[in-house]
Amino acid sequence: MNELAIKGRLERELGTRITWAEWVDLKEQHFIRDYHMGVDSWPALCGGVEEAIKRLRRHVERTHREQAGELDVETEPEPEEESPADIPPAPATLSDRTHARARALSSLNLLRTGGRSYGRAAIHSTLLPRGGLDGTIAHWVYVVAAELWVPAEEVANSYRGMQKTMSAELNRPKTSERAFEVAAFVWDNETVHGERPPWSVLCKRWNDWPLTKPFKHWQSFQKAFSRGARATPPRYIASNEQITNRVRSGGQEILNHWASKVRE
C-alpha cells in the first residue's frame, strides 16, 4: 500500500482529515516507515497516529491561544482532563485584523480584572457525534460559540473548514428538490402501510396528491425516487458505524465539556 493509500485509509478509520502538515510530522516520527517495515501492525499504526494527531492539534490550539493572549497556564487542564473527543478539530484561524482585535480585548480584560483574566476565546467550537444508537442516521455536529463582534464570514469560514475536513459531500452532484420530495413521499407511504406499495400505485398516489407535478410514467417516478434516496443520507469521511461508535463511547461528554468552557 503506497503512502496516499495509507493516508486515505487512516482518514477513513479515524474519522478525520489528516492535513499535509500533520502527515509530514507523522512521517518524521517514522510511523509510516515502521508500518512498511513490519515493525508495527495496522492497529498499532492507527493507535499511534491517533495519539500523535491529538498532541499535534492540542499544541496548535494552545499556540493560537497563547498568541491571542487567551492561554491561562494556571487553569490549563492536565492531560487526563482533556476533552473526551477522540480527535479534536483543528482550531479556527482568524484573520489578522480579528486576531489583533482579540489580542487587544485580552489586554483590556487583563487591565479591567487587575491581571486576573484575559477573558474568553472569541470563537469556541467542538465536533461531536450524534444519532446512530436508535437506528437513525449518525451525524457529525459542529457546535460553534462566537462572540457577536466576530465577523460573520469568519464564523462561516470556521464551519466551512470543518465541513471540508469531515464531509464527503463537496463533490456530489446536485439533486433536485423534486427527487427529495419523491423519496420522502415513498418512505412516508411505506411507514404508514408497513411495506412499499407497487411503483404504479405509488405513482398514482403522487399524481393524485394536490399541488404535485405529475409523472407520465411510473418508471420515471421510480427513477426520481432512486436519485433522491441515494442523495438523502449525508456522506462523511467516517462511516455511519464509526460515528455511531463515537456516540457510544462518549458523545454527550464532549458536549458537556464544550458547554462548560462556554459558560466559564
The string of DSSP codes covering 160-218 is: HHHHHHHBS-TTSPP--HHHHHHHHHHHHHHHHHSSPPPHHHHHHHHHHSTTPPPPSSH
- What is the model's pLDDT at position 29? 86
Query: Per-residue pLDDT for 33 more than 50?
Result: yes
Asked if residue 211 and residue 109 are part of one domain, the reply reads: no
- How many domains would you assign to the chain? 2
What is the per-residue pLDDT across 201-244, written as a single tens digit (0 to 9) for each? Answer: 999 999 999 888 999 999 999 999 999 999 999 999 888 998 89
Asked if residue 111 and residue 153 are part of one domain, the reply reads: yes
Of 39, 53, 74, nearest to 10 by C-alpha is 53
Identify which has the larger pLDDT, 179 or 103. 179
In this structure, the number of other CB atoms found within 10 A of the CB of residue 15 comes to 21
**What whole-number distance in Å separates Cα of residue 163 and Cα of residue 141?**
10
Range of the domain at 149: 3-169+236-263
Confidence bin at 93 (pLDDT 50/70/90): low
In the chain, what percentage of residues exceed pLDDT 90?
29
What's the one-letter identity of residue 233? P
Least confident of 62-66, 150-154, 160-164: 62-66
CA atoms 250, 160, 164, 178: torsion sign = positive
Query: Per-residue pLDDT for 9 more than 80?
Result: yes
- What is the model's pLDDT at position 179? 96
Asked if residue 225 and residue 252 are part of one domain, the reply reads: no
Query: Per-residue pLDDT for 246 more than 70?
Result: yes
**What whole-number distance in Å separates Cα of residue 145 and Cα of residue 126?**
9
Asked if residue 32 and residue 120 are part of one domain, the reply reads: yes
Asked if residue 113 and residue 79 are part of one domain, the reply reads: yes
C-alpha cell at 95: 484573520
CB 203 within 8 A of CB 218: yes
CB 206 within 8 A of CB 215: yes
In the chain, what percentage of residues exceed pLDDT 70?
85
Asked if residue 88 and residue 101 are part of one domain, the reply reads: yes
- What is the model's pLDDT at position 90? 46
Identify which has the larger pLDDT, 77 or 106. 106
Asked if residue 217 and residue 110 are part of one domain, the reply reads: no
Asked if residue 112 and residue 71 are part of one domain, the reply reads: yes
Asked if residue 46 and residue 17 are part of one domain, the reply reads: yes
What is the per-residue pLDDT across 153-204, written as a single tens digit (0 to 9) for each? Answer: 988 988 888 888 788 887 778 899 999 999 999 999 999 999 999 999 999 9
Least confident of 64-68, 74-78, 137-141: 74-78
Least confident of 57-66, 107-116, 149-158, 170-179: 57-66
Asked if residue 137 and residue 72 are part of one domain, the reply reads: yes
- What is the model's pLDDT at position 221? 97
In this structure, the number of other CB atoms found within 10 A of the CB of residue 1 comes to 11
Asked if residue 93 and residue 13 are part of one domain, the reply reads: yes
33's CB contacts (< 8 A; 6+ apart) are 27
Asked if residue 89 and residue 194 are part of one domain, the reply reads: no
12: left (phi over 0), alpha (psi -120 to 50) or beta: alpha
